[in-house]
Amino acid sequence: MTIMMSEMTQPPFPVAVDLVVLTVRDDLLQALVIERGAQPFKGRLALPGGFVGVHEDLLDAAERELVEETGVADLRIHLEQLGTYGSPERDPRGRVVSVAYLALVPEAAPPVAGSDAAAAAWLPVGDLLANGLAFDHHRILSEGVERARAKLEYSPLATAFCAPGFTINELRQVYEAVWGTELDPRNFHRKVTGTPGFVEPTGQSTTRQGGRPARLYRRGDAELLHPAMLRPELNRRSGVHSRR
Cα 156 from Cα 209, distance rounded (Å):
23
User: At a CB cut-off of 8 Å and minimum separation 6, what does 109 contact?
Assistant: none
Half-sphere exposure of 4 (CA within 13 A, CB side): 2
* pLDDT of the residue at 76: 54
* Phi/psi at 71 (5° precision): 80, 0
Task: Concatenate the DSSP letters of all residues of the chain into one string.
Answer: ----GGGS------EEEEEEEEEEETTEEEEEEEEE-SSSSTT-EE-SEEEPPTT--HHHHHHHHHHHHH-----TTSEEEEEEE--TTS-TTS--EEEEEEEE-SS-PPP---TTEEEEEEEEHHHHHHH--STTHHHHHHHHHHHHHHHHHHSGGGGGGS-SSB-HHHHHHHHHHHHTS-B-HHHHHHHHHHSTTSEEEEEEEE-TTSSS-EEEEEE-S-SS-SS----TTT-TTSS--B--
Q: What phi and psi values does residue 222 have, to the nearest 5 degrees?
A: -75, 140
| Residue 200, pLDDT score | 97
CA proximity to 21, closest of 12, 8, 30: 30
In whole angstroms, give the CA distance from residue 124 to residue 78.
20
Are 49 and 18 in contact, with CB atoms under 8 Å apart?
A: yes
Q: What integer pLDDT is reported at residue 11 of this predicted model?
A: 61
Closest to 78 in 3D by CA, of 194, 203, 223: 223
How far is the CA of 105 from the CAs of 47, 112, 135, 205, in angstroms?
Answer: 16, 17, 24, 23
pLDDT tens series, the chain, 244 aa: 555 555 556 668 899 999 999 999 999 999 999 999 889 999 999 999 999 999 999 999 988 888 888 887 766 568 899 999 999 988 888 889 999 999 998 877 788 887 677 888 999 999 999 998 999 999 999 999 999 999 999 999 999 999 889 999 999 999 999 999 999 999 999 999 999 999 999 999 999 888 889 999 999 999 999 999 998 875 433 334 433 3
Distance CA 195, CA 153 (A): 12
